[in-house]
Amino acid sequence: MAEIEKKPVKIMETVLRDAHQSLIATRMTTDQMLPIIKKMDKVGYHSVECWGGATFDASLRFLKEDPWERLRKLRDGFKNTKLQMLFRGQNILGYRPYADDVVEYFVQKSIANGIDIIRIFDCMNDIRNLQTAVKATSKEKGHSQVALSYTLGDAYTLDYWTSMAKKVEDMGASSLCIKDMAGLLVPYKATELVGALKDSVSIPIQLHTHYTSGVASMTYLKAVEAGCDIIDTAMSPFSMGTSQPATEVMVETFKGTPYDTGLDQKLLAEIAEYFRPMREEALASGLMNTKVLGVDIKTLLYQVPGGMLSNMVSQLKEQNAEDKYYDVLEEIPRVRKDLGEPPLVTPSSQIVGTQAVFNVLMGERYKMATKETKAVLSGEYGATAKPFNPEIQKKVIGDKKPITCRPADLLENELSAIEAEMVQWKEQDEDVLTYALFPQVATEFFKYRQAQKTKVDPAVADTTNGSYPV
């Protein structure tokens, strides 16, 4: 029998970013990460995802840590492993579109501080919102990975995905990721999708999914058999539920096959051992809610990501309208269709969900439209896969002419203005970017950082003249 060609699948480890973001609200501290890095560095991961997404905001807001400092410490520890981050296209790690000069500077500083691979996505899959970040990453000699937000709907045919993949390759991206944030990609669809993508493009293909709907590890199996090059997994104590399939399980699954990862289970077991007490502690303190650990089949029925469901339930609770739960669930796909059928991922998921709640509670659809709904229908978030519902668009924005250009083309450069605004707090170049993304949170953090340095006795502080004897 002919020797079967070896095609080891590569593993991207998410325990330092998406896994704890999904299960314990991004609360893992840098000090909790550092002691295990030396061991993790020996594994032979394709990369370790450790930055971006919500880690930046959470570090400043809840942990009183400088995210840049975290990145530098991780870079010092990982001598042999590539570090990866998640980047929301023109929104960077914030919630509004930024001017190109801010995006370029953020990419430059991320790579200078130790990031190797930047995974860039846009909630509308509007390629124009990814351009600046991809170009900047290549310019800084980083690896730019474009992630397409996976979703279901009439617009999202195999042709849609393959033509998007070709655009991503033409744009100069180093690799392509299918980002299945809600766990909607089922096993045999993965065979079909990965097969079609492998036939269309020559750049590596990575698959990212969540265990929310219970099918993720089977989906990985089928995707790898179809030629997927890299999969995202999490160390077992922070795996499953709304996180990713367990690293050790996937390593064991492919053992002895052409896709054998070659990773050492003994080493992985020691790493899992390190994270296990953190899991126990998170469960005991209620930081890890058992709700996020089970399978939520509603995800497949309504295509609503877990975080969006909990958001919606609390909005209904506030209005004493919990009995309207199923009405809102039925309204979500209708609103999504009106808004051009976007993928439901931050921030589009919140926009669609909130509008659906309003439509049901008001008893009339779009009697009240949120400012975000208006912005989507005005083209401010970019182009959608399908056209907007023209009647709804007219009802919500009236005779306002929607924009059709790339939204960031309307933004003036803003770096120097931002720097001028926060110059009193600046201790490192990166502080300007921290402030650009989260002005209030950053200011609070800078004040805290200054207070830590001076450790003033308030009793002897000369508050009238603003001078503090240290």
Q: How far apart are CA 96 and CA 381, in angstroms?
A: 9
The tokens 């980083």 sit on which residue? Answer: 142
- In the predicted model, residues of the chain with pLDDT beneath 50 are 461-470
Dihedral pair phi/psi, residue 9, rounded to 5°: -80, 140
* Region 10-290: CATH code: 3.20.20.70
Q: First vs last Cα of the chain: how many Å apart?
A: 79
Sign of the torsion angle spanned by Cα atoms 431, 432, 438, 441: positive
- Segment (H or E) for 51: strand 47-52
In three-state form (DSSP H/G/I as H, E/B as E, the rest C), the secondary structure along 370-391 is CHHHHHHHCCCCCCCCCCCCHH
> Would you state the pLDDT for residue 465?
46
> Would you state the pLDDT for residue 291?
75
> Would you state the pLDDT for residue 419?
98
Nearest partner of 208 among 397, 19, 440, judged by Cα: 19
Geometric angle at alpha carbon 43, from 42 and 48, rounded to 5°: 100
> Would you state the pLDDT for residue 309?
76
Q: How far apart are CA 276 and CA 278, in angstroms?
A: 5
Nearest partner of 133 among 184, 99, 183, judged by Cα: 99
3-class SS shares of the chain: helix, strand, coil, % to 5: 55, 10, 40
User: Is the separation of the CB atoms in 84 and 119 below 8 Å?
Assistant: yes
> Would you state the pLDDT for residue 468?
35
Helix residue ranges, H only, 298-429: 298-302, 306-318, 325-338, 348-362, 371-377, 390-397, 415-422
Nearest partner of 15 among 75, 106, 84, 89, judged by Cα: 84
Domain boundaries, the chain: 10-290, 304-404, 413-454
User: Is the separation of the CB atoms in 442 and 422 below 8 Å?
Assistant: yes
The yes-or-no answer to whether 10-290 and 304-404 have a common fold is no
> Would you state the pLDDT for residue 463?
47
Using CB atoms within 10 A of its CB, is residue 289 exposed (0-12), middle (13-18) or buried (19+)? middle
> Would you state the pLDDT for residue 470?
31
Name the CATH superfamily for 304-404.
Conserved carboxylase domain (1.10.472.90)
> Would you state the pLDDT for residue 95?
81
Instruction: State both tokens at 246.
Output: 């367990």
